[in-house]
Amino acid sequence: MKYVVLILLVLAGQATQRTAREYFDEIYDTGRLDRFAAGQACFDEDPAHEDFFIFEQSKYLRQYMAMRGTFQNLPKEMQQHLKNDLLVVRGYHKGIASNGEEFYTEDGNSWISDVYELDEENSMRIRLTINWQTHRFKWAVEMLDHETHVRREISRLGQCVDVSAEVPQTAGPD
């Protein structure tokens, strides 16, 4: 019996954690990425980080859909979002998509989310900064005061890659 326990402990120690890239590849290969945000895929520089996100600039999505004659088929709310120059972002944790897309507006050389109120004195927003030449990114949660001045920031760094159009992605907004 103690040999069985020893073997199980050895095998458990050999189990490897999946990477964000492996989760991405699995979803991509089945065509289940969110097609509205599948322009770039971004991975944390820490391979132990199991989250990734994808994004597309709304101007490219709008142009593509206009060429195909499908833009007018979208719900009016989505059409209005895409008429603005936004970044359409979808996060994934261990291969599970977050609850809907997020829409970030341009702010200088960054893209920012809406401001979310945490309490009477504090709020937060997400800031995504992308170096378009190197495809490096900085994903920051900014803690703000009531006048939207940054009090502190928590950030992650990583690399983005183009999502190949080889496998059509079919998942859409929830």
* Residue at 170 is within a domain: no
Mean pLDDT across the stretch 80-101?
88
157 within some domain: yes
The pLDDT-based confidence of 83 (bands split at 50, 70, 90) is confident
Domain membership of residue 103 (yes or no) is yes
In this predicted structure, what is the pLDDT of residue 38?
79
Residue 94 falls within a domain, yes or no? yes
Average pLDDT value for residue range 14-35 = 86
Whether 35 is in a domain gets the answer yes
How many domains does the chain divide into? Answer: 1
Q: Inform me whether the pLDDT recorded for 51 exceeds 80.
A: yes
- What's the mean pLDDT when you consider all of the chain? 86
Half-sphere exposure of 162 (CA within 13 A, CB side): 7
Answer whether residue 167 is part of any domain: no
User: Which residues make beta-bridge pairs with 93?
Assistant: 51, 96
Would you say residue 142 lies in a domain?
Answer: yes
For 127-169, what is each residue's pLDDT tens digit?
999 999 999 999 999 999 988 899 999 999 999 999 988 888 8
Lowest mean pLDDT among 70-74, 82-86, 167-171: 167-171
**Percentage of the chain surpassing pLDDT 70?**
89
Res. 174: pLDDT tops 70: no
One-letter amino acid identity for 155?
S
Give the mean pLDDT of 9-29: 76
Range of the domain at 130: 18-162
pTM of structure:
0.80
Question: What is the C-alpha separation between 125 and 107, in angstroms, rounded?
Answer: 12
The four Cα atoms 129, 93, 98, 141 give a dihedral, to 10 degrees, of -40
Please provide residue 79's backbone torsions phi and psi, each rounded to the nearest 5 degrees: -60, -45
- Residue 55 included in any domain: yes
